[in-house]
Amino acid sequence: MRRVSAVVCPVCGCCCDDLEVIVDDNAILDVMNACALGASKFLNYNKHRQRKPMVRRGGRLVEASLEEAVRRSAEILVEASYPILYGWSSTSCEAIEVGLELAEEVGGVIDNTSTICHGPSILAVQDVGISGCTLGQIRHRADLIIYWGCNPWSAHPRHMERYTALTEGRFQRSLWRRLILRLHADSMRKKMLRAAELSLIKRILERIKTRRVREAPYTLWEKERKVVVVDIRRTRTADLADHFIQVKPGKDYEVLQALRALIRDEELDVDEVGGVPVETLEELADLMIGCRLGIIFFGLGLTMSEGKLRNVDAAISLTRDLNRYTKFLIMPMRGHFNVTGANVVFTWQTGYPYAVDFSQGYPRYNPGETSVVDILLRGDSDAALVIASDPVATFPKAAVENLVKNPLIVITPDVTPTSLVADVVLPSTFVGIETSGTTYRMDHVPLPLKKVVEPPEGCVPDEELLRMILREVRAIKKEAAVSTVHVEA
């Protein structure tokens, strides 16, 4: 039995690098320090495994040799006039690099999962810039943490514990003591409510019920950092916050712009904006101006709802405005563990972070036109290669319908809905468990992913599979070129 320490978690954008994995006889027995998502991946990754290459023959997926599956994949890509190469966020930067080379070689469109995640955030950043930082800076110095349209409790379970409110920073204390006090008070309140309900003392009941509305003012907690959650429903994260502001669905843009006006000392002649009383917004604006270092973490609540990139644009502009008074920063809560890496590698190779079209022979970028969901909705593509992703389970129905109409190659370590409808399936390894590589944390810090156990026989790392396909594509194109010369001669 051996213990592998400082393992980087290959699940979400937090990339927690303090995991300890207990391995015995090439099997993972236990994992420590991981959240529910990380533990589930390490303990179950091998349960629904794609172990053999498969090729569709006569309408059925049948086992094939790796060479045959690679050859078939290369043929599909060469024959296609507008193939899409999609996924990339759950594999290593090294594999992404080869993927970009392949996309250029076959003249296809390469897109990563940020297209249905923080794509609009990237567009907003390209419009107005971003005031960013690393998570270490937040951990040690931030005294105001705002989660806007995101729910780290569910999507990034250790974010608060490692980087923000529940961590002891060098200059900021963790708020866990205050949190426990509040949880006790809340549980006591519930018990009293139940007792009052049973005893039918209506006066007490009303008093307890109304107490929740009058939450503690910010000034009570002057010495410790504060957490504010802004969302359209009361999430688990909101329960941990000092203050929760509930916005009407689709009204984030209005609320953000109202805050910008308040920060500029302008008066709002309305009672509420986006379902939030102006008084509450004034209080929040004061809090923002009064902090020493504040940060807004924003999630898909801004990018997926009405307004999309304009919501993010407003949030970044608010951050920029706040820097007139204090130090304020903003960061997107990235989903997959290497979605940031995908954007970084795409950018350094092609100049663009996602939705890159090589069909003209040079990289072209126009989200809305060259982004994979739009291509699928228009029905423009005639083949697809999917790697480290599962679009059949994540894309809207109309996009999936067009994806499965055309030849589909899937590179995956496990059986997924996408692999079941594929024409070629190539079994790969889990990056960060069976293969090492590089990943980028949500704050653009590169981290090394470890190889903890050996992959099963027949499973080949993404990078190697892509190199094999690339070699085969070049060989087919060379054969075609030679035969053309012969015909002409």
Partner 1 sequence: MGRLKVSLLTGRTVNQGKWKEFGKFSREYMESVAVCEMDPQDMKELGLKEGRNVRVTTRFGCIVVKAEKSKRGPHPGTVFIPYGPWANIVVNPETDGTGMPSLKGIEATVEPTEEPVMRLEEILTRHYGNERLRGERRDA
Least Å distance, CB 155 to partner 1, is 4
The CA angle 124-8-153, to the nearest 5 degrees, is 60
Each residue 150-179 as x (binds partner 1 by CB under 8 A) or -, in order, gives -x-xxx-x----------------------
Scanning 113-121, 276-284, 441-449, 480-488 for contacts with partner 1 by CB under 8 A, the matching segment is: 113-121
Question: Could you count the other beta carbons within 10 Å of the beta carbon of residue 220?
Answer: 11
3-state secondary structure the chain: CEEEEEECCCCECCCCCCEEEEEECCEEEEEECCCHHHHHHHHHCCCCECCCCEEEECCEEEECCHHHHHHHHHHHHHHCCCEEEEECCCCCHHHHHHHHHHHHHHCCEEEEHHHHCCHHHHHHHHHHCCCCCCHHHHHHHCCEEEEECCCHHHHCCCHHHHHCCCCCCCCCCCCHHHHHHHHHHHHHHHHHHHHHHHHCCHHHHHHHHHHCCCCCCHHHHCCCCEEEEEECCCCHHHHHCCEEEECCCCCHHHHHHHHHHHHCCCCCCCCEECCEEHHHHHHHHHHHHHCCEEEEEECHHHHCCCCCHHHHHHHHHHHHHHCCCCEEEEEECCCECCHHHHHHHHHHHHCCCCCEECCCCCCEECCCCCCHHHHHHHCCCCEEEEECCCHHHHCCHHHHHHHCCCCEEEEECECCHHHHCCCEEEEECCECCCECEEEECCCCCEEEECCCCCCCCCCECHHHHHHHHHHHHHHHHHHHHHHHHHHHC
CB closer to partner 1 out of 329 and 409: 409
Least Å distance, CB 478 to partner 1, is 32
Least Å distance, CB 89 to partner 1, is 14
| Out of 340, 371, 428, 438, the residue judged to bind partner 1 by CB under 8 A | 371
| Residue 53 within binding range of partner 1, rule CB under 8 A | no
Least Å distance, CB 259 to partner 1, is 20
| Out of 390, 434, 443, 462, the residue judged to bind partner 1 by CB under 8 A | 390
Q: Which of residues 225-264 bind partner 1 (CB under 8 A)?
A: 232-236, 249-250
Strands 54-57 and 27-32: unpaired
Least Å distance, CB 257 to partner 1, is 18
Q: Which of residues 2-31 bind partner 1 (CB under 8 A)?
A: 11-12
CB closer to partner 1 out of 98 and 300: 300
Each residue 397-426 as x (binds partner 1 by CB under 8 A) or -, in order, gives xxxxx--x---------xxxx--xx-----
Q: How many residues of this chain interact with partner 1, rule: CB under 8 A? A: 66
| Residue 427 within binding range of partner 1, rule CB under 8 A | no
CB closer to partner 1 out of 123 and 142: 123
| Out of 56, 182, 444, 474, the residue judged to bind partner 1 by CB under 8 A | 56
| Out of 28, 329, 372, 410, the residue judged to bind partner 1 by CB under 8 A | 372
Scanning 74-82, 174-182, 315-323, 371-379 for contacts with partner 1 by CB under 8 A, the matching segment is: 371-379
Least Å distance, CB 270 to partner 1, is 22
Cα gap 132→346, rounded to integer Å: 20
| Out of 374, 380, 382, 464, the residue judged to bind partner 1 by CB under 8 A | 374
Least Å distance, CB 152 to partner 1, is 10
CB closer to partner 1 out of 140 and 182: 182
CB closer to partner 1 out of 119 and 294: 119
Binding site for partner 1 (CB under 8 A): 11-12, 36-37, 40-41, 44-45, 47-48, 56, 59-61, 115-116, 119-120, 123, 151, 153-155, 157, 232-236, 249-250, 300-301, 303-306, 308-309, 354-355, 367-368, 371-374, 377, 390, 392-401, 404, 414-417, 420-421
